[in-house]
Chains A and B, each alone.
Chain A
Amino acid sequence: MGKAMTQREGAVMILGGGIAGIQAALDMTDLGYYVYLVEKSPAVGGVMAKLDKTFPTNDCSL
């Protein structure tokens, strides 16, 4: 059996910490819920963190 976390009511699990997961996590927090953002790699950010600039404005993506 796994170690259970302290029970939190109104929690959501978000699987994947790329731009979609991060945005969903921020929005869920703002809507008043506790979020577990679960990412398989050592850091969140996903593919967007590897991009230099973004289309079409060539804004920096980090």
Chain B
Amino acid sequence: MVTNADFLALEGKPGNFTAKLNIRPRYIDADACTACGLCTQYCPKHHSDPYNEGLAITRPIHIDYAQAVPATYYIDPSSCMHIQHDTCQICVPVCQSHAINFNQKPEARDLKVGAVILSPGFGKIAPETLEKFSYGKHPDVVTSYEYERMTTASGPFLGEIKCFSDGRHPKSIAFIQCVGSRDLGCDNGYCSSVCCMYAIKEALVTKEHDPEVDITVYYMDIRTQGKDFDAARERAEAIGIKFVRAKVADVTPWDNHLKLTYSTLDGQHIFAAHDMVVLSVGLESPKDANKIADITKIDLNHYDFCKTETFAPLQTSQEGIVVAGAFQGPKDIPESVTQSSGAAVLASTVLKKQRGKGTISKEYPDELAVTDDDEVRIGVFVCHCGINISSVVDCPEVAENAGGMENVTYYTENLYSCSQDAQEQIKKTIKDQKLNRVVIAACSPRTHEPLFQETLKDAGLNRNLFEMVNIRDQCSWVHANEPEAATEKSKDLVRMAVSKAAHIQPLPEQTVPVTPKALILGGGVAGMTAALSLADQGFQSVLVEKSSKIGGNLLNLKNTLAGDTTAGYLKTLTTKVKKSSKIDVVTDGTLAQTSGFIGNFSSVIESGKGKKKKEQTYDHGVIVVATGGHEHRPDLYQLGKSKKVVTQQELEIKLAGRAKNRAPNSIVMIQCAGSRGEDLNYCSKVCCNHAMKNILKIKEINPDSQIIVLYRDIRTYGFAEDAYLEARKKGVIFIPYEVDRRPVVTSKGSKVQVDFFDTIMQEEVSMNPDLVTLSVGIVPQGTDELSKMLKLPVTANGFFLEAHVKLRPVEAAVDGVYICGLAHAPKPVEETIVQAQAAAAKAAMPLVKGYVTVDPIVSSVEQDKCIGCGICVSLCPYGAIQMEKVDKKRKAKTISASCKACGICASHCPTFAISMGGFTNEQLTCQIEAFGNKKAEETVEA
């Protein structure tokens, strides 16, 4: 990790680049700094805190936030009195670890790298764009960044929202959408794709703080097109957040209020007063985009974002350099994360010959054997967490108290147990004091348990000989106003942990070898891309396609919004797949049966038809689910009844043909036909773009064609907004309809009639167009059966559910199974390709490693006690328990590699035959008894 670094130059060619960096001095020695924070307390100079958007004051010597990585303070030279004026230096003697060093100089460094991934993020909208909304003129007009810090519980105002003008709590807040996006005034014609979501989030958070506050969101279109995003919008509406379709002209100060002037669709100009205005500012290309482009010679698009192609969305114009995140185009976290994994697989392809050569594997000392006969020696470490715990809980008292407990041979306190020096101290103590159990009372095991377990391993102890007590979240935070009670509770929790610790046993680390092969279900663009990416990494795969031909939905599409033809791309892709020696294509194939776990699956594939039907068994280590989806065909709007009613896909095929009247003179398009509350509950993300694509094609063939689009929200997010603007320029009329007033289509003979309420003219309209086109949405392809077979959860809408929507977007809850393409959610081909590459990256990881490690906290069955009832097998959500025959009796058995340690089996076993590693009945009983013991003592004393 190289921080504080400027990227100056890039030389060489793919596989052999030299990057030149300039590393600016921190003026603090990273190895010595313990992040104690004393220097910041003594520094006399004020410094506006950029981490808090300038809403708070910090000091030139500071750290951005407690969890920052690296956890080293730094000096901002722009306001340090010593660096600017050669005075002060108060911090130098204050620092106990002598970490401050004003003699640090900028350092030039060359990095030899084979590939480059560009992920510089995005920039901010210029303040001039915000001026018309009185930003900078009135203190109660804030940007969404500032508002985010204001609502944050750990932010400068501890989450309390107040007007900056007079400190009152705002009773009415306005969010203005599309500030600096979809705005030709600042040359940002594109949609920033994230503002609608964060505005809704911030509005919901505000309502949580104060349910009485009145919130209005002023918008043009609400673009919550992501997976299950519409549901959040509905939730917001349900709790009373108002959404007003309007363009806000300006904001002017009005006494201590703010006056908004906005115009609605029907041409009215309206004024509204609010206490506070939040500007939903968009994402701009990064400030140094041009500099990066100059250095790397990559092309930028007309908005200065990195230029990429629809069918190669992460490849820059320079070989060996790939892009990920918002620099490729404005996007949210899950999509950025997906792109990063995709970019990793592309960079890996450039470098594959050198795989594994540069990495270092960590070595641990031999593990100390701990048996039942050994004396139990417990060490208790109580963490102050700076002042996070110690300002409430009396840490010395808690430690002292622990010292008196049975089996505790050592106790101490740490300022920050997680700091580098404390870690070393703990390791030393374990050895010196011959500790064989460690209890740390600190923060949350969710974040810090792995770190401390690593410390134990370094000290030669099995990592399970560890108990963590959360006296921060459970004591100092929740009982901040009752320090005495918080201290008592801390003592209780520590006593319980000590009692349990006496009974914990070392658990062996297990590893299982991996079959280096993938099974890919679905031969559309997602499946094919995943197979090819894995082949590029050197791994075999079996690609199973249900129909007789690979290609999927691309077979039905003709061109893309960017103007590429799909046929050429599809041909290249299918040829590559067919020619690849690493891909085994099975058409007319279905998955009949599968068993096993990550690294060791075995699946039966049925293929062929009629007499040629056969079954074949494959062993493989991972599964990529790319089963896709297809166009929904709702039994609505006369679809299938009138020849004049077609879907967008049918229209696309028609437009690509040669028929004379393929682009008729009058067309009505109905968006969300069957979606967002009709047959389907969700937004299909692609239909608006699909409509624009067809509209522009029609206008190309027949410029006089009159097109009316009836819509709810036009969701041409990202750069697709350009196409929407183009369509409007070409005279296409867009009329929104309300959900309770959907258009009605009727047909009589060869005529078709559309009746709708024109929200712009405020009148009922009846038309007889030559053609009605429906944007019908996408439904998943048969996820039901597969979901049962693989134990994969699906969403309410039938799409496969990812392990974590933000941070693990292509992994399934079941280890070794990855999801991409339409089976995950509706999305355009560009995003499908990225997701398939990401799925390939994730799938390649266990294959590269060659083995999987199994967390030792898994369930285990004492087969003597097992009566073979099978309750556990039916309850296990991960398919991790199987029945086997032992001496002709049915017995349950845990497949350790699949077990997630949820404990459902153990809690339901009627004979207590199942126990969880690290959470045995004995251990838990001791823990509970320890709590009761003290109460008993108290009663006796009383």
Chain A interface residues (CB < 8 Å from chain B): 1-5, 7-24, 27-34, 36-59, 61-62
Pick from B112, B357, B359: contact of A29, CB under 8 Å: B359
Contacts of B786 in A (CB 8 A): none
In the assembled complex, the Cα of A19 lies from the Cα of B849 at a distance in Å of: 24
Is B340's CB under 8 angstroms from A23's CB?
A: yes
Q: Are A2 and B848 in contact (CB under 8 A)?
A: no
Instruction: Indicate if the CB atoms of B107 and A3 lie closer than 8 Å.
Output: yes
A12-B116, A23-B336, A46-B121 known; A37+B148 contact, CB < 8 A: no
Smallest CB–CB gap between B738 and chain A, Å?
Answer: 23
- Size of the B side of the interface (Cβ < 8 Å), in residues, is 92
B841 and A3 form a contact (CB under 8 A): no
Q: Could you tell me the distance in whole angstroms from the C-beta of A39 to the nearest C-beta in chain B?
A: 5
Say yes or no for B683: interface residue by CB 8 A criterion. Answer: no
Contact stretch, chosen from B59-67, B405-413, B552-560, B581-589: B59-67
Cα-based distance from A40 to B74 in the complex (angstroms): 13
Give bound CA distance, A23 to B74, whole Å. 25
For the complex, what is the distance from the CA of A41 to the CA of B549, rounded to whole Å?
A: 51
Given A12-B351, A13-B19, A52-B148: A44 in contact with B111 (beta carbons within 8 A): no
Q: Would A3 and B197 be within 8 Å (CB), given that A12-B347, A15-B292, A51-B148 are in contact?
A: no
Contact A14 B359 (CB under 8 A): no
Q: Please, how many angstroms separate the alpha-carbon atoms of A15 and B273 in the complex?
A: 45
B504 interface hit (Cβ, 8 Å): no
Instruction: Please pick, from B117, B151, B842, the residue contacting A52 in the complex, using a CB distance under 8 A.
Output: B151
Give the CA-CA distance A40 to B154 in the complex, in Å.
25
* Bound complex: CA A55 to CA B199 (Å): 9
Residue picked from A12, A19, A43, most chain B C-beta under 10 Å: A12
Bound complex: CA of A26 vs CA of B848, how far in Å? 14
- In the complex, the number of residue pairs spanning A and B with C-beta atoms less than 8 Å apart equals 243
Chain B positions within 8 Å of A23 at CB level: 324, 336-337, 340-341, 807
- Whether A27 lies near B229 (C-beta < 8 A) is no
B725 contacts partner chain A, Cβ-Cβ < 8 Å: no
A2 partner, pick from B108, B114, B205, B844, beta carbons under 8 A: B108
Instruction: Determine whether the beta carbon of A24 is less than 8 Å from that of B324.
Output: yes
Apart from A2-B108, A23-B336, what 9 extra A-B contacts exist at CB < 8 Å?
A2-B21, A15-B292, A16-B121, A16-B325, A31-B841, A32-B848, A54-B201, A55-B332, A62-B65
**Listed residue (B336, B841, B848) with the most chain A CB atoms within 10 angstroms of its CB:** B336
Chain B residues near A18 (CB-CB < 8 A): 119, 121, 325, 336
B1 adjacent to A17 (CB under 8 Å): yes
B contact set with A: CB distance below 8 Å: 1-7, 17, 19-21, 26, 51, 53, 63-65, 67-70, 72, 74, 107-122, 145, 148-149, 151-155, 197-198, 200-201, 204-205, 228-229, 231-232, 292, 324-327, 332-333, 336-337, 339-341, 343-345, 347-348, 351, 353-359, 537, 805-807, 841-842, 844-845, 848-849
- Please name all residues of chain A whose beta carbon is closer than 8 Å to the beta carbon of B327 when the two chains form the complex: 16
B279 to chain A, nearest CB (A): 16
By a CB distance below 8 angstroms, the chain B residues around A36 are 1-2, 19, 111, 113
A52 and B152 contacting across the interface, CB-CB below 8 Å:
yes
Q: A12-B117, A27-B841 are in contact. Are A50 and B333 (CB under 8 A)?
A: no
Can you give 11 A-B contacts (C-beta < 8 A)?
A5-B111, A8-B357, A18-B325, A20-B119, A20-B339, A36-B2, A43-B68, A52-B149, A52-B205, A54-B201, A56-B229
In the complex, the answer to whether B333 meets A16 with C-beta atoms within 8 Å is: no
Please indicate the chain A residues that have their CB under 8 angstroms from the CB of B292 in the complex: 15
Instruction: Tell me which of B17, B51, B122, B356 contacts A13 (CB under 8 A).
Output: B17
**B201 engages A20 (CB within 8 Å):** no
Enumerate the 3 nearest inter-chain pairs by beta-carbon distance, A residue then B residue, closest first: A20-B325, A10-B354, A34-B358
Set A21, A47, A58: member contacting B117, Cβ < 8 A: A21
User: In the complex, what residue of chain A is closest to B844 when comparing beta carbons?
Assistant: A31
Q: Please, which residue of chain A has its CB at the minimum distance from the CB of B70?
A: A43
- Contact A10:B357 (CB < 8 A) given known A5-B110, A30-B848: yes
CA distance A31 to B359 in the complex (A): 10
